[in-house]
């Protein structure tokens, strides 16, 4: 009886996965994808009937079909040459010579609305001897569970370099969290000016955006930035798939942090909206305040709309934020 229940569980899980994979990834358009997904559902039902009636040929045939889908899934190549939306059309790369970090393709868009903007990309050079701070940025648009997380680095000259791991949308493509499990989107690493990437969220989108200043000395921040650069260069050289659970904005930050220091895994890495709470528990935020107070004082949405779009945006939007390094 236990073996039968296990078999049913495998067929139900595999049937759901296979049908969704065909729905999202089968070629030929939605109609063909829908037909193929329905046929695989029918095959899964036949496999269940075979288990119940002790007819092993049916579940064996279904298992062969599922194995073919898994093989197809595993061989889907991530690419860097699709017809991308403008804002994700370039992925950052960087080169280091001594303390001189040259970052290529920094996004400095002027966002008037979420869909209206003036596109501009720049190459920028940063002196790592002037590296002063690191910030965790979390932006919420659909409740407390999910947030887009970014990592920002501040320099003595008042400039900030903010890095964001995102889906790389093709033109006309709409994000689906479910599709993100089935190799629908590639990863892109956006390096941006805060006047672009933070103001986009505070002003153009009106998201609940929070900037948490990280407790760290410059000597601790430097390897974090260099590991982020190494990861960005790797993705630029060998395109990688986004995954809604395993390879997203937050898991990539965790991967970077763990390459620098032994950071323990926590469920809040998956529930990205709670990542700041986790970093607080690690003692890397301003623990002189309760987490609730820190969160309230770290909100920058209204401030981002107030300070305008001048070149001092990054500094002004952080003015007065709780800083554990002071």
> What are the helix (H) ranges across 160-270?
194-199, 218-237, 249-260
Could you tell me the pLDDT band of residue 308, with boundaries at 50, 70 and 90? confident
What's 203's DSSP letter?
I
Convert the pLDDT of each residue in 233-285 to its tens digit: 999 999 999 999 999 999 999 999 999 999 999 999 999 999 999 999 999 99
How far apart (Å, rounded) are the C-alpha atoms in residues 133 and 295?
Answer: 19
Q: Domain map of the chain by residue range?
A: 2-75, 86-318
Convert the pLDDT of each residue in 206-232 to its tens digit: 999 999 999 999 999 999 999 999 999
Pairing of strands 186-192, 131-140: unpaired
pLDDT of residue 3: 74
Question: Which of 167, 192, 193, 190 is closest to 180 using CA atoms?
Answer: 167
Answer whether residue 69 shows pLDDT above 90: yes
The residue assigned the tokens 């036949």 is 46
pLDDT of residue 90: 97
Q: Cβ of 29: how many Cβ atoms within 10 Å?
A: 8
282 backbone dihedrals φ, ψ, rounded to 5°: -75, -5
Average confidence (pLDDT) over 42-53: 92
Average confidence (pLDDT) over 296-325: 94
Answer whether residue 55 shows pLDDT above 90: no
pLDDT of residue 48: 92
Contacts of 168 (CB under 8 A, 6+ apart): 82, 84, 88, 91, 185, 186, 187, 188, 242
pLDDT of residue 52: 87
């Amino acid at each position: 009886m236990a073996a039968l229940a296990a078999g049913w569980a495998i067929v139900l899980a595999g049937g759901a996965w296979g049908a969704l994979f065909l729905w999202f990834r089968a070629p030929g358009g939605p109609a063909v994808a829908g037909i193929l997904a329905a046929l695989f559902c029918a095959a899964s039902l036949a496999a269940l009937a075979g288990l119940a009636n002790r007819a092993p040929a049916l579940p064996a045939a279904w298992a062969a079909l599922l194995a073919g889908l898994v093989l197809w899934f595993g061989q889907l190549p991530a690419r860097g040459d699709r017809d991308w939306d403008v804002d994700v059309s370039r992925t950052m790369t960087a080169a280091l010579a001594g303390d001189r970090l040259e970052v290529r393709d920094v996004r400095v868009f002027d966002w008037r609305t979420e869909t209206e903007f003036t596109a501009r990309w720049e190459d920028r050079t940063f002196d790592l001897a002037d590296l002063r701070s690191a910030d965790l940025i979390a932006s919420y648009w659909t409740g407390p569970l999910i947030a887009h997380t970014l990592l920002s680095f501040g320099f003595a000259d008042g400039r900030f370099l903010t890095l964001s791991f995102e889906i790389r949308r093709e033109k006309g493509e709409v994000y689906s969290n479910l599709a993100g499990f089935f190799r629908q989107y590639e990863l892109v690493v956006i390096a941006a000016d805060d006047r672009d990437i933070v103001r986009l969220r505070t002003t153009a989108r009106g998201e609940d955006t929070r900037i948490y200043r990280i407790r760290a000395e410059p000597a601790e921040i430097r390897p974090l930035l260099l590991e982020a650069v190494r990861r960005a260069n790797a993705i630029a050289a060998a395109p990688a798939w986004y995954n809604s659970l395993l390879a997203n904005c937050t898991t990539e930050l965790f991967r970077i942090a763990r390459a620098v220091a032994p950071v323990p895994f926590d469920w809040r890495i998956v529930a990205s909206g709670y990542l700041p709470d986790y970093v607080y528990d690690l003692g890397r935020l301003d623990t002189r305040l309760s987490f609730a107070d820190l969160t309230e004082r770290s909100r920058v949405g209204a401030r981002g709309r107030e300070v305008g779009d001048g070149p001092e945006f990054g500094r002004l939007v952080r003015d007065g934020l709780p800083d554990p390094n002071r």
